[in-house]
Chain A
Amino acid sequence: MKTNPETPAVELESNPARTIKIIGVGGAGVSLLDTLDGGEFAGAGLVAINTDAPSLATSAALVKIHLETKLLRGLGTGGDPERGRAIAEEQFSTLKTACGGADVVLIVAGLGGGAGSGISPVLARAAKETGALVLAFVTLPFLCEGNRRQQQAQQSLEQLKSVADGVICLPSQKTFKLIDENTSVLDTFRITGGLLVEGVRGVWQLLTRPGLIQIHFDDLCAHVRDRHSESSFAFVEAAGAGRSREVVEKLLAHPLLDEGRALAEADAVLVSLMGGKDLTMAEVNRVMEQIGRHCDHAQIIMGAAVDAELKNRLSVTVIAAKHNAVATAETPAGSTSLGTSGDQAGQMISRGSGARASSRCTQPAPAPEPREQLLARHTNRPRKAASKMRQEQLPLAIISKGRFDKSEPTVHKGEDLDIPTFVRRGVALN
């Protein structure tokens, strides 16, 4: 790799060892957790939570929490999220202890059933109350699994979105594009699970690997927060000489991105590149250029990191979030604004000690400072993302057209010329 002398040492240091806990909830969550076990996820605290003893028994997770009560008579939730929720509320303190000490909690669950749908939102709330940042990776059931499960999943998803900092959701139905006629049911579920795991891995790498161009965790949160389930992600890898081109091709053909359509429709795209030591700036640039071309409306946040273990492979994680007005209206700003990772610990403490033991975590709207600081810090670096960043505007202010209110508007190239020029051009008068 051509080492970039400009790479500030600060960037590498600003990634303190974060405690990350990955919590699998429900039958699907627990079995997904097993596939995560070992290897690169060694640093993570794996926790399995279920109401069903047999599933926990086979799990390889370090910490297993069996939510049991007389209410269930050892039979699990029976596919009823209400039971799941009830038991989770009952054992709220246990859940809180399980999340304790973590900076980041990743919840992995399959929605639609009883345990996953019922417990996940409560768990997310518990995790938030310990001061951790919460990201949920969930699957939605196949359409053929029936209406009831769909509804339960949607309901749970909404609840989850209002509590967790970010929800990344994988509608299982989309995996139909990945399978053919002969794929067995087992394989299908493995593929679905595999996709989710890839997402977790992508975020994991984002958070743990030293970044050359770092994606800060608040970037990630600002990115996924308050998004609708349309938040789609893709994780692709390629090796060899033409790897940057191959990666882009794979991305654009990725079924979870709707063959690139998700990129075009997204209004925020987070891209994380990970390469071996031979990762070149030209490659980063090529990939970003291609992605940038496909999402013209989106704000792009990019990060690049080097991992020696990747050798000659290049992996790219893309999270494309499509803003949904309805979803935003329904979900309160249930997320946090963290400072840069350097002062994260301090903030954590203050957050934890704050009088926030309310049942629903509704934080104040995030302050704009972190993003601006970030921008200021990155301005003198060749960063494509910087040019794409923009302050979003809410169409709330009604601009009076004064005396032209009732006359035919003078529209020139899509601009209403009756609105004062200084307003349209955003010239600030102070």
Chain B
Amino acid sequence: MFDDANIIVGLEIGTSKVCAVVGEQNADSTLNIVGLGQSPARGMRKGEIVDAALAEECVRNAIVEAEQMADVEIRSVYLGVTGGHVRGFNNRGVHPVVSADREISEDDVQDVIKNAKAINLPAENTVVHAVRQHFLVDGHDGITNPVGMLGARLEVDMHVVHGNTNRLQNSVRLVKGLQLEVEEIVFNGLASSLALLTSEQKELGALIIDIGGGTTDYVVYADGVIKHTGVLAVGGDHVSNDLAYGLKVPLSRAEKLKLEHGAALVDESVRGQTLTIVNELGLPLKTVNVEHLQRIMSLRLEEIFQIIASDLEQAGLTDYLRAGVFLCGGGVRVPQIARLAERLMQMPASLGQTNSISGLKSALDQPEFVTAIGLAKFGSLKNRKREGKSSFANGLRSTLTSFLRRS
């Protein structure tokens, strides 16, 4: 039996599946994945709950499975959130240094962060994350720790991820209804990036695209910090829906065709090739053109990448992504998707590998578990911070960024 204090659980309630990952924090603070539970999700659309009762059952199933596998009792989880309402933006806080000797103190840093967090959000929105980027001292950029420096004006850039309070609370309430504690809510894209990126890649600049069932979340790292986040409420469900509409087949059949014959680029060899759909008795029901199937998929995926690319271009980040694009989520199981991404983003693209975490290999190799693993990793970083805090009393500031950078 493990000591409960070291058990960290990441729970992702996705549109197509619910996934709970149990991690154990070793003595040296590294994370070891010891259990995984999953259940096909119902009652979800575009990353949000539309039928709480159905969704609750699925979450319970996943939690029970994870508990059995890891042989632990799960008490609290780090909960992943997403949805079309989640947005990210950059904000800058300013604070004049007033002390006589112009030396920047710890209090100045606290104040400037407080200022940066004081943002004008619509009343119904709450901040999910406020991640520190860099400090500026007298307009001098790129300072990571200004304490002890001299200056008259201290500024800080923050990346703020926020979303609609009620819609975020829906999933929190659901989990609490299962007698589970929610330690913190974490934006799914952020969790995925934690699981995938090494600090070197963050420094170089990288784009994470997590194509899920209902949403596509993306996060941009550059110079070691989060520069941009976004959610596009389009995902694998849309691909299936397009196929069902275009090929005139039921949705369940479209889903199956997508898995068996899908491709992100139209393969020359399938030109004119057809498939015969048979019913359970083996009688032919319908013939489907494989080329059409792949073209429909290709167009949808192409559009997702195009929208993200134009968003990044608007944010002026395209030139900062030297490490390239990393793909994860169930939606990237489509063959050739990395090539499609490469073509549209015009930078190297690959399927992300969950590095820097040890444990069950079978779990780590799947792109759809990346987010849940990332959630557990987020928890382990928080835990480590808490330990640090207790030993250093209140000496350390509690911002997420420092941990993100240390990872």
Partner-B contacts on A (CB < 8 A): 399-404, 407-408, 410, 412, 417-418, 420-423, 425, 427, 429
Chain B nearest CB: distance from A85 CB in Å?
52
**Is A421 touching B244 in the complex (CB atoms < 8 A)?**
no
Chain B nearest CB: distance from A401 CB in Å?
8
**Is A420 touching B232 in the complex (CB atoms < 8 A)?**
no
**Is B295 touching A404 in the complex (CB atoms < 8 A)?**
no
Chain A nearest CB: distance from B235 CB in Å?
10
**What residues of chain B lie closer than 8 Å to A423, measured between beta carbons?**
245-246
Q: How many A-B residue pairs have CB under 8 A?
A: 65
Q: Which of A402, A410, A412, A420 contacts B46 (CB 8 A)?
A: A410
Complex alpha-carbon distance, A404 and B296, angstroms: 17
What total of chain B residues lie within 8 Å of the partner, measured CB to CB? 24
**Is B232 touching A403 in the complex (CB atoms < 8 A)?**
no
**What residues of chain A lie closer than 8 Å to B67, measured between beta carbons?**
none
Q: Which of B232, B238, B292, B307 contacts A418 (CB 8 A)?
A: B238
**What residues of chain A lie closer than 8 Å to B234, measured between beta carbons?**
410, 417
**Is A421 touching B303 in the complex (CB atoms < 8 A)?**
yes
Complex alpha-carbon distance, A422 and B303, angstroms: 10
Q: What does the 1/0 interface line of B268-294 toward A look like (CB < 8 Å)?
A: 000000000000000000000100100
**What residues of chain B lie closer than 8 Å to A407, measured between beta carbons?**
45-46, 50
**Is A420 touching B300 in the complex (CB atoms < 8 A)?**
yes
**What residues of chain A lie closer than 8 Å to B241, measured between beta carbons?**
401-404, 418, 420
**Is A422 touching B45 in the complex (CB atoms < 8 A)?**
no
**Is B292 touching A402 in the complex (CB atoms < 8 A)?**
no
Complex alpha-carbon distance, A309 and B175, angstroms: 87
**What residues of chain A lie closer than 8 Å to B43, measured between beta carbons?**
none
Top 4 nearest A-B pairs by Cβ distance?
A420-B242, A410-B233, A402-B241, A421-B299
Residue picked from A407, A423, A425, most chain B C-beta under 10 Å: A407
Q: Which of A412, A420, A425 contacts B245 (CB 8 A)?
A: A420
Chain B interface mostly helix, strand, loop or mixed? helix
Complex alpha-carbon distance, A407 and B300, angstroms: 19
Chain A nearest CB: distance from B274 CB in Å?
13
Q: Which of A400, A412, A429 contacts B295 (CB 8 A)?
A: A429
Complex alpha-carbon distance, A412 and B309, angstroms: 13
Q: Which of B248-267 contact A (CB under 8 A)?
A: 251
**What residues of chain B lie closer than 8 Å to A412, measured between beta carbons?**
232, 307
Chain B nearest CB: distance from A416 CB in Å?
11
**Is A422 touching B238 in the complex (CB atoms < 8 A)?**
no
Complex alpha-carbon distance, A403 and B254, angstroms: 12
Determine whether B237 belongs to the interface, using a CB cutoff of 8 Å to chain A: yes
Closest to B45 in A: A407
Closest to B292 in A: A429
Closest to B233 in A: A410
Determine whether B40 belongs to the interface, using a CB cutoff of 8 Å to chain A: no
Determine whether B84 belongs to the interface, using a CB cutoff of 8 Å to chain A: yes
Q: A404-B237, A421-B296 are in contact. List 13 more A-B contacts (CB 8 A).
A: A400-B245, A401-B241, A402-B251, A404-B46, A407-B45, A408-B233, A417-B303, A421-B302, A422-B295, A422-B299, A422-B300, A427-B295, A429-B295
**What residues of chain A lie closer than 8 Å to B233, measured between beta carbons?**
408, 410, 417
Closest to A405 in B: B241
Complex alpha-carbon distance, A427 and B294, angstroms: 13
Closest to A400 in B: B245
Complex alpha-carbon distance, A403 and B255, angstroms: 12
